[in-house]
């Protein structure tokens, strides 16, 4: 390979890919459309698969320093009665890692700080992609252009790279909108390492309370709603309090602690399954390839798996096309499954109010072994160990 590789998108997937390639001695530059890589987003849960990738990138200690361990993740009714539960100790026993909560911007900063300064360029909006026999050219809105031996589109659910290579793809609306915030508020529970997602009786209604540290909570609220609705300024907190009036006092306590400017709203979409993720020297990664709803908390986790895998495949092949074919072979079935499972959970939450009292007892009756078997398909990362073993010159995992 002669020209540096090109990564479009400076989010978690793009930066992690750049780091994994940098550690393998493959020259790569990240081009981000924003004028700066700023602190954006709310909280995210790093599940065992994501923590394994962080370890293999040598970032475990850094992640632990800025994240919060979870002991359990509970789904419960509005009165707090559990429906399902994931135990972090059981995950650690099976997969080697449990669960940790981190602010999205903190993880993004860790990845950015691990890269050379010259590896990231901002204010680079893609306006054109031309693929050739030996290289691909990217044209930017500022009038500049670059050639790369390969291009990785890590530019999100509305990917310009995907649109240029595969054409416009209609997104799939989940029927739910979501408000998110990170709130300075002590979690009103005797279990400060337990997250709870309360399911309401009406379609789409949920509230999640996820501790991020002793005095900080990641909160989200979802409800069934038409897409593209706008909030009325000055009324958002009151609207959420009214929407969640059937929930216990802990929900109201956290929502009252929210400043309206902390709350961001987004409709929840996913991407219908693509037949392929690559064409010649261009490949898609993360949400650009398999955007998912957040019901499994796997968006960033799957992007991290993509990043490590695509870097290992590029290191193992002399040309991008066979590397991208292997990357797709290793990753696509699992990522597509994750999108499917997450969508199914959203459809269950969207059930009408009269069905919820019938559903909840059924959920409680599902044996933990069956639930673990289902989630194991998402968390299992044995193939990553094989990829790492094929590249012995990498830094020791931490």
> Which CATH number belongs to the domain containing residue 70 in this structure?
3.50.50.60
Q: CA angle, 55 as apex, 53 and 59 as ends, to 5°?
A: 105
Give a yes or no: residue 334 inside a domain: yes
Give a yes or no: residue 203 inside a domain: no
> What does pTM read for this prediction?
0.94
pLDDT tens-digit series, residues 2-58: 778 999 999 999 999 999 999 999 999 999 999 888 767 789 999 999 999 999 999
- pLDDT of 393 reads 52
How many domains does the chain divide into?
A: 1
Give a yes or no: residue 46 inside a domain: yes
- pLDDT of 213 reads 86
Segments forming the whole domain that contains residue 313: 5-171+270-389
- pLDDT of 1 reads 57
Give a yes or no: residue 188 inside a domain: no
Q: Which three-class secondary structure string do you get for the chain?
A: CCCCEEEECCCHHHHHHHHHHHHCCCCEEEECCCCCCCCCCCEEEECHHHHHHHHHCCCHHHHHHCEEEECEEEEEECCCCEEEEEEHHHHHHHHCCCEEEEEHHHHHHHHHHCCCHHHEECCCCEEEEEECCCCEEEEECCCCEEEECCEEECCCCCCHHHHHHHCCCCCEEEEEEEEEEEEECCCCCCCCCEEEEEECCCCCCEEEEEEEECCEEEEEEEEECCCCCCCCCCCHHHHHHHHCCCCCHHHHHHHHCCCHHHCEEEEEEECCCCCCCEECCEEECCHHHHCCCHHHCCHHHHHHHHHHHHHHHHHHCCCHHHHHHHHHHHHHHHHHHHHHHHHHHHHHHCCCCCCHHHHHHHHHHCCHHHHHHHHHHHHCCHHHHHHHHCCCCCCCCC
Give a yes or no: residue 41 inside a domain: yes
Give a yes or no: residue 146 inside a domain: yes
Give a yes or no: residue 294 inside a domain: yes
Give a yes or no: residue 196 inside a domain: no
Full pLDDT tens readout for the chain, 398 residues? 577 899 999 999 999 999 999 999 999 999 999 988 876 778 999 999 999 999 999 999 999 999 999 999 999 999 889 999 999 999 999 999 999 999 999 999 999 999 999 999 999 999 999 987 777 899 999 999 999 999 999 999 999 999 999 999 999 999 999 999 999 987 666 788 999 999 999 999 999 999 998 889 999 999 999 999 999 999 999 999 999 999 989 999 999 999 998 899 999 999 999 999 999 999 999 999 999 999 999 999 999 999 999 999 999 999 999 999 999 999 999 999 999 999 999 999 999 988 888 888 888 887 776 777 778 889 999 888 777 766 655 555 66
């Amino acid at each position: 390979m002669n020209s540096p590789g090109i990564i479009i998108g400076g989010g978690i997937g793009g930066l992690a890919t750049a780091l994994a390639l940098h550690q393998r001695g493959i020259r790569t530059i990240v081009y981000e459309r924003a004028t700066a890589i700023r602190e954006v987003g709310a909280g995210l849960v790093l599940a065992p698969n994501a923590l394994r990738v962080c370890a293999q990138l040598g970032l475990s200690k850094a992640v632990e320093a800025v994240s919060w361990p979870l002991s359990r993740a509970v789904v419960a009714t509005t009165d707090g009665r559990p429906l399902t539960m994931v135990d972090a100790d059981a995950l650690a026993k099976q997969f080697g890692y449990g669960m940790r909560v981190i602010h999205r911007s903190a993880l993004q900063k860790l990845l950015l700080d691990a890269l050379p300064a010259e590896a990231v360029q901002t204010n680079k909006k893609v306006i054109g992609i031309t693929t050739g026999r030996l290289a691909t050219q990217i044209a930017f809105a500022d009038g500049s252009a670059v050639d790369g031996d390969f291009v990785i589109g890590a530019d999100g659910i509305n990917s310009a790279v995907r649109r240029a290579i595969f054409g416009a793809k209609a997104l799939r609306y989940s029927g739910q909108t979501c408000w998110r915030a990170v709130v300075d508020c002590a979690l009103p529970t005797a279990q400060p390492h337990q997250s709870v997602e309360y399911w309401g009786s009406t379609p789409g209604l949920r509230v999640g309370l996820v501790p991020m540290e002793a005095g900080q909570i990641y909160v989200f609220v979802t409800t069934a709603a038409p897409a593209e609705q706008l909030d009325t300024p000055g009324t958002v907190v009151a609207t959420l309090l009214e929407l969640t009036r059937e929930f216990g006092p802990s929900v109201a306590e956290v929502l009252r602690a929210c400043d309206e400017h902390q709350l961001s709203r987004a409709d929840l979409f996913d991407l219908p399954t693509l037949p392929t993720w690559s064409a010649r020297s261009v490949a898609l990664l993360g949400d650009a390839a398999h955007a998912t709803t957040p019901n499994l908390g796997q968006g960033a986790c799957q992007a991290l798996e993509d990043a490590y895998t695509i870097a290992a495949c590029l290191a193992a092949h002399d040309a991008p096309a066979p590397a991208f074919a292997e990357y797709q072979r290793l990753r696509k079935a699992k990522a597509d499954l994750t999108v499917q499972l997450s969508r199914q959970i959203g459809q269950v939450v969207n059930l009408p109010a009269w069905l919820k009292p019938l559903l909840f007892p059924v959920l409680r009756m599902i044996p933990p072994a069956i639930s673990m078997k289902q989630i194991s398909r998402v968390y299992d990362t044995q193939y990553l160990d094989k990829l790492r073993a094929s590249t012995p010159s990498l830094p020791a995992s931490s």
